[in-house]
Amino acid sequence: MVPLPLSRILYIEDEEDIQVVTKIALETVGGFTLLVCGSGAEALKEAPEFRPQLILLDVMMPGMDGPTTLKSLRTLPGLDKTPVVFMTAKVHPSEISNFKQMGALEVIAKPFDPMKLAEKIRDIWNATHG
């Protein structure tokens, strides 16, 4: 079956300034529909109803960190296979392969260029779903 174009992204990030810039990068520049959650716990509450096509997940967060959030999200109905992209300032190759083993499609390095983030995400999506 032909895959859907990417539109609904669940974005989990605790830092507010990064939240805002990502919102512009993905909603205004990229035209995606974005649900921003400030913590893993909030994401667990909101995700099932939002039914994201892609989850964009910060790695280092207070409380539940990215990998823990991912594990919990995976237990929710409809979210067991949703593709995940991690965002992190950690970019060591060994860590990237760790994240990929956790099931991440890709790891986006922070800092990022807000004008190019949407394109990058679209490329990642197209590479696996195009």
- Kindly state whether residue 63 participates in binding other proteins, applying the rule CB under 8 A: no
Using CB under 8 A, which of 100, 114, 120, 121 touches other proteins? 114
Of 19-27, 35-43, 75-83, 97-105, which part binds other proteins (CB under 8 A)? 19-27
Stated as kind and residue range, the H or E segment containing 85 is: strand 84-88
Count the Cβ atoms, other than its own, within 10 Å of residue 5: 11
Using CB under 8 A, which of 43, 50, 62, 105 touches other proteins? 62
**Rg for the chain (alpha carbons), in Å?**
13
- Kindly state whether residue 68 participates in binding other proteins, applying the rule CB under 8 A: no
Using CB under 8 A, which of 34, 60, 82, 83 touches other proteins? 60
- Kindly state whether residue 126 participates in binding other proteins, applying the rule CB under 8 A: yes
Judged by beta carbon, residue 44 or residue 87, the one nearer other proteins is: 87
Judged by beta carbon, residue 28 or residue 97, the one nearer other proteins is: 28
Stated as kind and residue range, the H or E segment containing 57 is: strand 54-58
CB of 43 to other proteins, least distance (A): 18
**Which residues fall within 8 angstroms of residue 12, CB to CB, at 6 or more apart?**
36, 37, 38, 39, 40, 42, 43, 55, 56, 57, 58, 61, 66, 69
- Kindly state whether residue 17 participates in binding other proteins, applying the rule CB under 8 A: yes
Secondary structure of residue 108 in the 3-state scheme: strand
